[in-house]
Chain A
Amino acid sequence: GAVVSQHPSRVICKSGTSVKIECRSLDFQATTMFWYRQFPKQSLMLMATSNEGSKATYEQGVEKDKFLINHASLTLSTLTVTSAHPEDSSFYICSARPAGYTFGSGTRLTVV
């Protein structure tokens, strides 16, 4: 079946640094990638939608200059958290289409 590989699974970074999260579709072409964020004890909230070769569309309240999304190929989408701060600590997970809604395994980001 369709698989999305997400890396890293866990990352700890210092406040003010940037972190890149990758999602790769291994056996299909991901024309659309959704990026979600989940704060502790909360549900998954959509951050942005990216289509291959186009600029991402961000949900209201999500800073596009802070959360940079690149979807330059049909098999790779990246989310870069720039100048990370402790309040960005969260669980980030991607979901790819058109293979149904195939989720990556998620990235737990801790900013110290």
Chain B
Amino acid sequence: AQSVTQPDIHITVSEGASLELRCNYSYGATPYLFWYVQSPGQGLQLLLKYFSGDTLVQGIKGFEAEFKRSQSSFNLRKPSVHWSDAAEYFCAVGAGSGNTPLVFGKGTRLSVIA
């Protein structure tokens, strides 16, 4: 069965500092990988996704993620964090087609300090 591990429950970074959120997945076939962001009381916003092609994926809001098959990882990065980036971040894995649901990690809460 597919699964996602986000090892960091909570991360605090200074505004302007770089950020890396870790995500490891377990999936038997070619994974379809996602990062979502959720602000308090809000729905999900898709940051980026990967299915095939270039393993470095660019997303919205200056985020990028790199797929590393050998490490079963899909870490999210941002070179310079803004206070508005404070939110909950979810990594998820699914399939390119069919009835496989998206499976989410437990999330990483990002706090940004001045």
Contact = CB atoms under 8 A, between A and B. Distances in A.
Interface of A: 32, 34, 42-46, 49, 51, 93, 95, 97-98, 100-101, 103-106, 108
- Interface size class on chain B is 20 to 34
B99 interface: yes
A44 B43 contact: no
A74 to B, nearest CB: 15
A49 B100 CA distance: 9
B43 A46 contact: no
A10 to B, nearest CB: 9
Contacts of A106: 42-44
Nearest to B96: A100
B99 A108 contact: no
Contacts of A100: 49
B74 interface: no
B70 interface: no
Nearest to B46: A103
Interface string B65-102: 00000000000000000000000001010100111011
